[in-house]
């Protein structure tokens, strides 16, 4: 099995730490040899995206099952997962990718900003993903539910003023 790349190590650290601190859940990385698929098309029902712009330009995509998203939403809103509204789930989708993006940008570039996070349903496609280079695609387990995070580097340079 290959050693994780620098970007995969960034993702692993940010994802496990962010979920442990925010949701008090244990996140396990899925080994490369696992039978969990890593397809190029999105196998998950839910997803969100945020772009990092500045010294480092790229995108972060978070994807999860609806069941995992509802469970995490229930923890945050202190209610049963089946009582969580679609709007609350969408808000949490955007918040999760924003949290991951904020933590990743600290290691990717000194002068970076985040775009407004969007759900993949809001954008209808994955802007910034097709034009970029996939640096890392990692899958994780929380209990029996799977989530995935992608990090994509874009070549477009957008200067950020001090």
CATH number of the domain bearing residue 131: 3.40.1550.10
Q: Which domain holds residue 65?
A: 6-29+45-153
pLDDT reported for residue 42: 46
- Please give the model's pTM, rounded to 2 decimal places: 0.85
* Alpha carbons 73 and 45: distance in angstroms, whole number: 15
Backbone angles phi, psi at 132, to 5 degrees: -105, 180
pLDDT reported for residue 17: 95
Number of structural domains found in the chain: 1
pLDDT reported for residue 107: 86
Is residue 25 assigned to a domain? yes
Q: What is the mean pLDDT of each run of 10 residues along the chain (162 residues)?
A: 82 94 91 50 76 89 92 94 94 96 87 91 60 85 90 68 52
């Amino acid at each position: 099995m290959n050693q994780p790349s620098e970007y995969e190590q960034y993702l692993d650290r940010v994802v496990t730490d962010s979920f442990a601190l925010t949701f008090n859940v244990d996140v396990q990385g899925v080994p490369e040899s696992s039978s969990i698929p890593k397809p190029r098309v999105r196998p998950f029902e839910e997803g969100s995206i945020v772009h990092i712009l500045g010294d480092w330009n790229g995108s972060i995509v978070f994807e999860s099952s609806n069941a995992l998203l509802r469970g995490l939403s229930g923890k945050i809103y202190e209610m049963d997962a089946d009582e969580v509204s679609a709007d609350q789930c969408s808000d949490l989708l955007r918040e999760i990718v924003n949290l991951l993006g904020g933590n990743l940008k600290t290691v990717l570039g000194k002068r970076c900003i985040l775009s407004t996070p969007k759900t993949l349903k809001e954008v209808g496609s994955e802007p910034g993903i097709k034009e970029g280079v996939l640096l890392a695609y990692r899958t994780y387990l929380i209990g029996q539910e799977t989530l995935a995070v992608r990090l994509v580097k874009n070549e477009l340079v957008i200067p950020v003023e001090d």
